[in-house]
């Protein structure tokens, strides 16, 4: 019979207990339902679904997380460019891409006011836009201003915000005189004008499952559920019509 020193037995026991603790912690922290990355302006449409975990941010920041290997099962971005980038990197599950909704751009102000054109933004001292580098809203807004030959004229008055939600918050708090936001986000503020959609690329919300997602089946089911329930989309202030010029690949 082999007799082990008491210290060795105690050490082995400690290692065993630590292993059990680590394994239990891993199992406890392991997600039990899909994690969906959602553009901030689409978040209200998915907020009441308790079968998923959500990460809400600007679409550009969400795609960056997926590129970095974050454990995300699906993404709903406020533009097709963001999904294109992921697809080109082989990070999107083939056949899972779907257009879910569309939106419009409006100019908002803290108090009721009507303006006739984007050129009237020159009257305001502080104009808020979403950052074109991280948020599709910023890209659409800049396109509209450039097509309207206004962007360069108000460049020194522009304040860039991180995402659509922050743009509205700055106007609501009176820290800006005007802003361009999605129609669906124009709550608690005054809509001064609606922007001609021909001044920018079509605004679409595109969903897709991330390649090798842990909950790929459940994530795909969620995207299907959203597409088949237009009332959920419209109740969030979004539109369900899909611009004919937009490809879903």
Delimiting residues of CATH 3.40.190.10 domain(s) in the chain: 35-102+203-235, 105-199
Task: Using alpha carbons, select from 164, 100, 85 the residue that is nearest to residue 132.
Answer: 164
Helices (H), 149-199: 151-154, 164-172
The fold for domain 35-102+203-235 equals D-Maltodextrin-Binding Protein; domain 2 (3.40.190)
Q: Residue 247: its pLDDT value, please? A: 39
The Cα 235–Cα 44 span in angstroms is 9
Mean pLDDT of 179-196: 95
| Residue 163 binned pLDDT confidence (cut-offs 50, 70, 90) | confident
Mean pLDDT of 184-197: 94
Does residue 2 surpass a pLDDT of 70? Answer: no
- The region of weakest confidence among 1-10, 72-81, 139-148 is 1-10
Q: Residue 204: its pLDDT value, please? A: 96
Q: What pLDDT digit, counting tens, does each position of 236-245 carry?
A: 999 986 544 3
Query: Which CATH number applies to 105-199: 3.40.50.1580, 3.20.10.10, 3.40.190.10, 3.40.1440.10?
Result: 3.40.190.10
Task: Using alpha carbons, select from 123, 180, 193 the residue that is nearest to residue 146.
Answer: 180
């Amino acid at each position: 019979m082999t007799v082990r020193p008491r210290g060795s037995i105690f050490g082995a026991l400690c290692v065993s207990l630590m292993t059990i603790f680590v394994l239990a912690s891993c199992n406890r922290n392991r997600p039990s339902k899909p994690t969906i990355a959602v553009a901030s302006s689409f978040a209200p449409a998915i907020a009441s679904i308790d079968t998923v975990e959500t990460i809400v941010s600007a679409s550009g920041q969400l795609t960056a997380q997926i590129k970095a290997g974050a454990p995300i099962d699906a993404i709903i971005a406020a533009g097709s460019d963001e999904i294109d980038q992921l697809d080109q990197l082989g990070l999107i599950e083939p056949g899972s891409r779907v257009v879910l909704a569309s939106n419009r751009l409006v100019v908002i102000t803290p108090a009721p006011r009507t303006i006739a054109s984007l050129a009237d933004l020159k009257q305001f001292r502080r104009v808020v836009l979403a950052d074109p580098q991280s948020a599709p809203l910023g890209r659409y807004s800049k396109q509209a201003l450039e097509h309207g030959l206004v962007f360069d004229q108000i460049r020194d008055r522009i304040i860039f915000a991180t995402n659509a939600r922050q743009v509205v918050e700055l106007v609501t708090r009176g820290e800006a005189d005007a802003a361009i936001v999605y129609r669906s986000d124009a709550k608690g503020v005054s809509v001064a004008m609606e922007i001609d959609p021909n001044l920018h690329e079509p605004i679409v919300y595109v969903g897709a499952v991330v390649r090798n997602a842990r909950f790929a089946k459940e994530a795909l089911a969620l995207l299907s559920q959203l597409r088949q329930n237009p009332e959920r989309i419209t109740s969030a202030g979004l539109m369900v019509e899909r611009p004919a010029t937009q490809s879903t690949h």
